[in-house]
Amino acid sequence: MNTMTEGWALAWQLIRHADPELVHITALSLQVSATACAIGALFGLLLGAWLAVARFPGHVLAVWLVNTLLALPAVVVGLLVYLLLSRSGPLGELGILFTPTAMVVAQSVLVTPLIAALSRRLVMAALADGGDQLRSLGAGPLTTSLLMLVHDRMGVTTVLLTAFARAIAEVGAVMIVGGNIAGVTRVMTTTIALETSKGDLALALALGLVLLAVVGAINGAIGLLQWLATRPLNAAQAKPHAAAAKPGLRAPVVTEATEPAEGTPLILADKATVRFGALVALDNATLTLRRGDRLVLVGANGSGKTTLLRLLHGLLSCEGRCERLPLQPEGRLPRAAMLFQRPFLLSLSVERNVRVGLWLAGVPATERGVRCREALARVGLLELAARSARSLSGGQQQRLGLARAWALQPDILFLDEPTASLDPGAKNEIEALIQEVASSGVTIVMSTHNLGQAKRLATRVACLHAGRIVVERPVAHFFDAEDLPAEAEQFLQGELGWHLRP
């Protein structure tokens, strides 16, 4: 029997009989690396979330530094920590060199930049999808960033597992600061190196197998999480039973809006211009939004409808003036909420999505439950409150987005093409809900390509072309008028073939 064969046999015996030394070394390795990853997560996740949204002099340099530290050699980390903790070092009085604590410090320094860099990228990807929507609910930059980490919990778990795998497989830093003292600071990697150099292959092979199993389990967990994050919804999730899909939702009855008496001004835009670099997205827009209005914005793609909505809601800054005016007789500024074309829903339950919106808006905890249930009941989703919001159908997600906005009890509701991607039945449901919101006294500003919808819901229509408001007038004097500007007439002819000048 050769040495290698004997070594494998003895290694298997050590594993099968749970050799005390093997168990102690494995337990210490797991403890040190898990503690280091917990510390790295505390600082790394916060640092990554902050770097994703912070803007300050030197921001680019800070991001470069974190990304550079990803490739920092472990032995360099060990050397730096050794110099800090040695007797002549600034932290020598702590007396923790050649202890498991020193090993935790070294591995924490090693994994924190990894966690920070990867979590920053997670946040930035999520912000591109739904950052504006969370900000529209009242979230500040850092709160938005942290909510994105909560939203992508599987991504965060993958980052932490990756960091743990790097920590537990690292040898240089823990060897330098731990000293590889038997029964005190020996971990799997350092013991493998020592026992191999001594020619004692049995313990080295046994620990190698255990380490391989740990890393394999971590990689398997990462693969499982990635599969769970991308798997298609099963039929039960994607298509809930009809009895549960629309509980309590009243049949849609939509009638044409009547023009109200002129209300008090809520928002005043005067020669407002929005630029994105060299692109002028909104050009000298002048508009007064009054209480009780149902203002519908129409125009071709790229005409500036969404930009105007975001400006009026306060998500964009402008040249010129765009001011929200106090309500009369209340004397406070009007509350506003926005329903986007594709509502961004956190990977939480239906109910928690509404509750988060209320929390961000500063609604007291004692009121959130009642307002959440009332809003879900009004859109027919109360019986689905415990379901994952991401498993809802497109129409249900739009109704949830409307419930989240409705729960805020806004004075103004902005809607960005709320039915653009819905089937006819879901469109009718959303139209009915919009009309119910408007009939409760909420001022509506909505963009749409559906001119029939505009005619049914609007009291006023504004037509945009190339970033300019070319005409804005009561709905009765828009669709049947013969004196429309050429740009508006051309748009109507493109959408309504029968709308031709005599």
Which residue type does 74 have?
Answer: A
Specify if 304 maps to a domain.
Answer: yes
Q: Which residues contact 292 (CB under 8 A, 6 or more apart)?
A: 260, 261, 263, 441, 443, 459
Going 175 to 178 to 179 to 180, the CA torsion angle's sign is negative
Confidence of residue 493 (pLDDT cuts 50, 70, 90): confident
- How far apart are the C-alpha atoms of 404 and 389, rounded to whole Å? 12
Specify if 168 maps to a domain.
Answer: yes
Q: Are residues 328 and 223 in the same domain?
A: no
Q: Are residues 340 and 193 in the same domain?
A: no
* Long-range contact set of residues 161-164: C-beta below 8 Å, sequence gap at least 24: 161/218, 161/221, 161/222, 161/225, 162/114, 162/118, 162/218, 162/222, 163/37, 163/40, 163/41, 163/44, 163/111, 163/114, 163/115, 164/33, 164/34, 164/37, 164/111, 164/218
Q: Are residues 210 and 162 in the same domain?
A: yes
Specify if 161 maps to a domain.
Answer: yes
Interval 153-162 mean pLDDT:
90
What's the pLDDT tens digit per position in 277-332? 999 999 999 999 999 999 999 999 889 999 999 999 999 999 999 999 998 888 88
Q: Are residues 47 and 171 in the same domain?
A: yes
Specify if 240 maps to a domain.
Answer: no
- How far apart are the C-alpha atoms of 198 and 261, rounded to whole Å? 93
Interval 117-130 mean pLDDT:
94
CA distances from 484 to 258, 457, 464 (A): 21, 20, 12
Q: Domain containing 447 — which CATH number?
A: 3.40.50.300
Confidence of residue 232 (pLDDT cuts 50, 70, 90): low
Q: Are residues 45 and 122 in the same domain?
A: yes
Specify if 426 maps to a domain.
Answer: yes
Domain count for the chain: 2
User: How confident is the model at residue 365, as a pLDDT?
Assistant: 93
Q: Are residues 306 and 221 in the same domain?
A: no
Domain carrying residue 375: 265-495
The three-class DSSP label of residue 434 is helix
75: pLDDT strictly greater than 50? yes
253: pLDDT strictly greater than 60? no
Q: Are residues 291 and 406 in the same domain?
A: yes
Q: Are residues 299 and 429 in the same domain?
A: yes
- Output 262 or 364, whichever has higher pLDDT: 364
Q: Are residues 83 and 31 in the same domain?
A: yes
- Output 261 or 299, whichever has higher pLDDT: 299
Specify if 502 maps to a domain.
Answer: no
What's the pLDDT tens digit per position in 425-461? 888 999 999 999 999 999 999 999 888 899 999 999 9
Specify if 193 maps to a domain.
Answer: yes
Phi-psi region of 158 (alpha: psi -120 to 50; beta: other; left: phi over 0): alpha
- The DSSP element (H or E) to which 287 belongs, if any, is strand 279-290
Q: Domain containing 215 — which CATH number?
A: 1.10.3720.10
- How far apart are the C-alpha atoms of 101 and 342, rounded to whole Å? 49
Specify if 501 maps to a domain.
Answer: no
Among 182, 206, 230, the domain boundary falls at 230
109: pLDDT strictly greater than 60? yes
User: How confident is the model at residue 325, as a pLDDT?
Assistant: 93
500: pLDDT strictly greater than 70? no
Pairing of strands 279-290, 265-276: antiparallel
7: pLDDT strictly greater than 80? no
252: pLDDT strictly greater than 50? no
Q: What is the mean pLDDT of the chain?
A: 87
Q: Are residues 299 and 188 in the same domain?
A: no
- The DSSP element (H or E) to which 410 belongs, if any, is none
Which of 474, 499, 471 is closest to 485 using CA atoms?
Answer: 471
Q: Which residues contact 125 (CB under 8 A, 6 or more apart)?
A: none
Full-model pTM: 0.83
Q: Are residues 216 and 342 in the same domain?
A: no
- How far apart are the C-alpha atoms of 387 and 396, rounded to whole Å? 12
Confidence of residue 234 (pLDDT cuts 50, 70, 90): very low
Confidence of residue 197 (pLDDT cuts 50, 70, 90): confident
* Percent of the residues in the chain that have a pLDDT greater than 70, as a whole number: 90
Q: What count of other Cβ atoms lies within 10 Å of the Cβ of residue 61?
A: 9
Q: Are residues 173 and 303 in the same domain?
A: no
- Note if the bond before 424 is cis, omega within 30 degrees: no
Q: Are 433 and 413 in contact (CB under 8 A)?
A: no
Lowest-confidence range among 153-157, 356-360, 363-367, 490-494?
490-494
227: pLDDT strictly greater than 80? no
State both tokens at 365.
């905890």
